[in-house]
Amino acid sequence: MNAPQQVRGACPHDCPDTCSLVTTVVDGVATRVQGNPAHRPTDGVLCAKVSRYAERTYHPGRVLRPLRRVGPKGSGRFEAVSWDEALQDIASRLSAIAARDPQAILPYSYCGTMGWVQGDGMASRFFHRLGASLLDRTICSVAGSAAMVHTLGAKVGMKVEFFAEAKLILIWGSNSITSNLHFWRLAQEAKRRGARLVCIDPRRTETAEKCHEHLQILPGTDAALALALMHELVRNDWLDHDYIARHTLGWEALRERALRWSPERAAATCGIDAQRIRELARDYGTLRPAAIRLNYGMQRVHGGGNAARAVACLPALVGAWRDRAGGVLLSSSGWATLDRAAVQRPDLLAGRTPRSINMVTIGDDLQRPASPAFGPRVEAVVVYNSNPVAVAPESAQVVRGFAREDLFTVVLEHFRTDTADYADYVLPATTQLEHWDLHTAYGHTDVLLNRPAIAPLGEARPNSQIFRDLAARMGFADACFADSDEAICRQACAGRVDFDELLQNGFAPLPVPDAPFAEGRFPTPSGRCEFFSAALARQGLDGLPDHVPNHEAFGSSPRYPLAMISPPARNFLNSTFVNVDALRAIEGEPLLEIHPQDAQARGIEDGTPVRVFNDRGEYHCKAQVCERARPGVVNGLGVWWRKLGMAGTNVNQLTSQRLTDLGGGPVFYDCLVDVQPA
Ligand code: SF4
């Protein structure tokens, strides 16, 4: 046995923490994946999910050879074929479609890996060169991202490490213990130093339980709460007038709007007590420094963009940005200005402007006929880094779309997911331990390099190589298709990040100021924090943030009296890890949390199998009667693979394809249902 080697990498998952990994390799086998103690944000600790990354990599269910469908779509029946056979057939079928109209080919991908190379690196080059439809990658964060851009100027905010110095932390729409573990460690440190922690969340999460205070508001009412906080800041003059005058835009108009939101009015909207809003406003107006950790759950409703904008206005009102431990953080990804164009090569479009399809409405769009407004019918879908049959809203429509016999579907995957079952070809992709990649983060401000720790298993190939191979078969002779993965990493970093430092340490910090907006200088058109956004007004939208009620507002339907949110189950990350037996064993079965009052009214006991339903479909799971759910709201924990859930369903049977106010994002948490014993 050779001496164990340690290889530095980066966690590829859709999580703000972007941990630095150290993989121990013995004789070519990865034996352990651990957190890198030298990387400050990781601090030597990984979450329980990725601690099992070696188990996931060597999972007996890995797809390790190209597969071709032999059964009906959805049956999951395949035969193994050679790479040559698979690539040749895929290339010739895509070429035939492209000869008619390349826009009839749709790439479908998201953050199955966050890497710049295996995500949308070589893939974007390929689809740009082809002239395929563009995908509007909206399914997670777009409403909140638009909110930050239109308020602060970019997806930027305070540096995460300074939360440890705050005296008040609002954890807004985030179950940090589950989905932002390393921030939670900093919040705990602040708590030990005397900080007050307040959680704002419709669910009594593990995080909410450990905060001093929990405001369990109704889903989609965050903007009403933020406006009422502003109301109280004005009434009590807990304002930083100097900061407002010098560094904000639109205060008079926002002030007037906020004064319409008394705590009583907001309390009635949010379903909480007005006194608790007054007390929170007092804390926010008087405790210094005050920091807000906003996360994406709260923006998955109709008014999600407005709500995130309303929250993002708060720090400027009290001058919180003056202190490095004050402000707000939704995403830090805007600090990472690596060279995206060098990686994705939009110039390969060569003047063409393909249509763009919103990934949220894939269910309807796969079934749409050709029309002047829509363009050609979608004839082929190439799915990578995503599992839309499980994660896209309104599953019944998504399944119907992918079940089309005349749709040619190629899926690059590690496993036979719900989506892979509908593929004509499943191509075996490498995991993070088997390839190069480059990562930026949205929860800290370091860049990380992922080196391969082991050789690809079986016949698996990196996504980048699969698109390189397809490009070659389709006759794309452009030199960029010969770039190696390491070369693409270097191109992204050129002139911006020291690549030698990445090779040496595995990570490199970006030069971000400690208190970026202490003196204003927001990257907005006005250089100020824009309470009023002229850019939004020009689009015919409200230039000021406001409360925008849910599409399916609580209390608006006698048939569906319960609001449902679908936060992630603790041991899954979106739909990733559902097939890792050890993690699924902890989760047990798909659960619906329901308040004792709502359960009793329906004859439901703890552990009762239930059907949750609305006009879009029904979802089968088990009831967990508990106070994690507030009265009137049920929590359907996701995202189970349909075939590993109950009755072949998951929670997205019930969610809708409607969109958010800003950015065209999904409204997973804007969903009315009712529940019965099954
Ligand atoms: S999922 Fe998040 S917390 Fe877990 S290892 Fe990856 S980056 Fe770290």
User: CA 402 to CA 407: how far, in whole Å?
Assistant: 7
Q: What is the mean pLDDT of residues 117-144?
A: 96
User: CA 359 to CA 382: how far, in whole Å?
Assistant: 13
State the distance from the centre of ligand 1 to the C-alpha of 547, rounded, in angstroms. Answer: 33
Is the peptide bond preceding residue 289 cis, with omega within 30 degrees of 0?
A: yes
Residue 448 has pLDDT above 80, yes or no: yes
Long-range contacts of 92-98 (CB under 8 A, 24+ apart): 93/380, 93/408, 94/130, 94/380, 94/382, 94/408, 94/470, 94/474, 95/474, 97/379, 97/380, 97/408, 98/130, 98/131, 98/132
Q: Is residue 187 helix, strand or coil?
A: helix
Residue 115 has pLDDT above 90, yes or no: yes
Q: Which residues line ligand 1 (CB under 6 A)?
A: 11, 13, 15, 17-19, 46-47, 49-50, 181, 573
State the distance from the centre of ligand 1 to the C-alpha of 573, rounded, in angstroms. Answer: 9
Q: Which amino acid is at 661?
A: D
Phi and psi at residue 30, in whole multiples of 5°? -75, 120
pLDDT tens digit sequence for 430-447: 999 999 999 999 999 999
Give bridge partners of residue 498 from the DSSP assignment.
none
C-alpha distances in Å from residue 330, one per residue of 224, 377, 442, 489: 19, 37, 8, 26
Tell which atom from ligand 1 comes closest to the C-alpha of 12: 6
Angle (nearest 5°) at CA 158 between 238 and 228: 35
pLDDT for the residue numbered 579: 87
pLDDT for the residue numbered 77: 97
pLDDT tens digit sequence for 321-367: 999 999 999 999 999 889 999 999 999 999 999 999 999 999 999 99
Residue 36 has pLDDT above 90, yes or no: yes
Angle (nearest 5°) at CA 66 between 385 and 22: 50
State the distance from the centre of ligand 1 to the C-alpha of 15, rounded, in angstroms. Answer: 6
pLDDT tens digit sequence for 181-237: 999 999 999 999 999 999 999 999 999 999 999 999 999 999 999 999 999 999 999
User: CB-based contacts of 268: which residues, under 8 Å, 6+ apart?
Assistant: none
Residue 246 has pLDDT above 80, yes or no: yes
User: CB-based contacts of 410: which residues, under 8 Å, 6+ apart?
Assistant: 90, 380, 381, 382, 383, 423, 424, 425, 427
Q: What is the mean pLDDT of residues 466-479?
A: 97
pLDDT for the residue numbered 401: 98
User: CA 637 to CA 627: how far, in whole Å?
Assistant: 15
Give bridge partners of residue 448 from the DSSP assignment.
439, 507
State the distance from the centre of ligand 1 to the C-alpha of 293, rounded, in angstroms. Answer: 17
Q: What is the mean pLDDT of residues 121-127?
A: 97
Per-residue HEC secondary structure of 7-46 comes to: EEEECCCCCCCCCEEEEEEECCEEEEEEECCCCCCCCCCC
Task: Name the helix (H) or strand (E) containing 495.
Answer: none
Residue 674 and residue 561 in contact, taking contact as beta carbons nearer than 8 Å: yes
Tell which atom from ligand 1 comes closest to the C-alpha of 17: 7
Q: Count the Cβ atoms, other than its own, within 10 Å of residue 403.
A: 16
Tell which atom from ligand 1 comes closest to the C-alpha of 15: 2
- DSSP assignment of 214-241 equals EE-PPTT-HHHHHHHHHHHHHHTT---H
Residue 365 and residue 357 in contact, taking contact as beta carbons nearer than 8 Å: yes
User: CA 114 to CA 142: how far, in whole Å?
Assistant: 16
- Ligand 1 pocket mutation pick from 181, 333, 444, 574 by most atoms within 8 angstroms of CB: 181
Give bridge partners of residue 196 from the DSSP assignment.
168
Q: At what angle do helices 274-286 and 222-235 cross, to 10 degrees?
A: 60
State the distance from the centre of ligand 1 to the C-alpha of 19, rounded, in angstroms. Answer: 6
State the distance from the centre of ligand 1 to the C-alpha of 327, rounded, in angstroms. Answer: 24
Ligand 1 atom 7 nearest Cα? 18
Task: Name the helix (H) or strand (E) containing 77.
Answer: none
Phi and psi at residue 591, in whole multiples of 5°? -120, 145
Q: Count the Cβ atoms, other than its own, within 10 Å of residue 511.
A: 8
Exposed / middle / buried, residue 353 (Cβ in 10 Å: 0-12, 13-18, 19+):
exposed
Q: Is residue 356 helix, strand or coil?
A: strand
pLDDT tens digit sequence for 287-321: 999 999 999 999 999 999 999 999 999 999 999 99
Residue 638 has pLDDT above 90, yes or no: no
pLDDT for the residue numbered 351: 97
Residue 1 has pLDDT above 80, yes or no: no
Mean pLDDT of the chain: 97
Q: What is the DSSP letter of 506?
A: S
Residue 385 and residue 111 in contact, taking contact as beta carbons nearer than 8 Å: yes
pLDDT tens digit sequence for 372-431: 999 999 999 999 999 999 999 999 999 999 999 999 999 999 999 999 999 999 999 999
Residue 677 and residue 600 in contact, taking contact as beta carbons nearer than 8 Å: no
pLDDT for the residue numbered 570: 87
pLDDT for the residue numbered 244: 98
Nearest of 82, 296, 272 to residue 172 by alpha carbon: 296
pLDDT for the residue numbered 336: 87
Ligand 1 atom 6 nearest Cα? 11
- DSSP assignment of 84-113 equals HHHHHHHHHHHHHHHHH-GGGEEEEE-TTS
Q: At what angle do helices 463-473 and 83-100 cross, to 10 degrees?
A: 60
In this structure, is the dihedral angle defined by the CA atoms of residues 606, 609, 613 and 616, taken in order, positive or negative?
positive
Structure tokens at 4: 């164990």
| Distance, C-alpha 368 to centroid of its chain | 27
Nearest of 158, 187, 164 to residue 514 by alpha carbon: 158
pLDDT tens digit sequence for 538-595: 999 999 999 999 999 999 999 999 999 999 998 888 888 888 888 898 999 999 999 9
Pairing of strands 105-109, 380-384: parallel
State the distance from the centre of ligand 1 to the C-alpha of 342, rounded, in angstroms. Answer: 27
pLDDT for the residue numbered 571: 86
State the distance from the centre of ligand 1 to the C-alpha of 529, rounded, in angstroms. Answer: 32
Q: Which residue has the tokens 């929250």?
A: 311
pLDDT tens digit sequence for 73-86: 999 999 999 999 99
Give bridge partners of residue 249 from the DSSP assignment.
530
- DSSP assignment of 450-480 equals E---SPPSTT-B-HHHHHHHHHHHTT---GG
Q: Which residue has the tokens 């965050």?
A: 222
pLDDT for the residue numbered 573: 83
User: CA 674 to CA 594: how far, in whole Å?
Assistant: 11
Residue 217 and residue 202 in contact, taking contact as beta carbons nearer than 8 Å: yes
pLDDT tens digit sequence for 597-625: 999 999 999 999 999 999 999 999 999 99
For residue 21, name the pLDDT band (cuts at 50, 70, 90): very high
Ligand 1 atom 8 nearest Cα? 19
- Ligand 1 pocket mutation pick from 8, 49, 431, 576 by most atoms within 8 angstroms of CB: 49
Angle (nearest 5°) at CA 616 between 610 and 622: 15
Q: What is the mean pLDDT of residues 59-68?
A: 97
Tell which atom from ligand 1 comes closest to the C-alpha of 53: 5
pTM over 0.85? The answer is yes
C-alpha count within 13 angstroms, C-beta hemisphere, residue 207: 31
Share of the chain above pLDDT 70, in %: 100
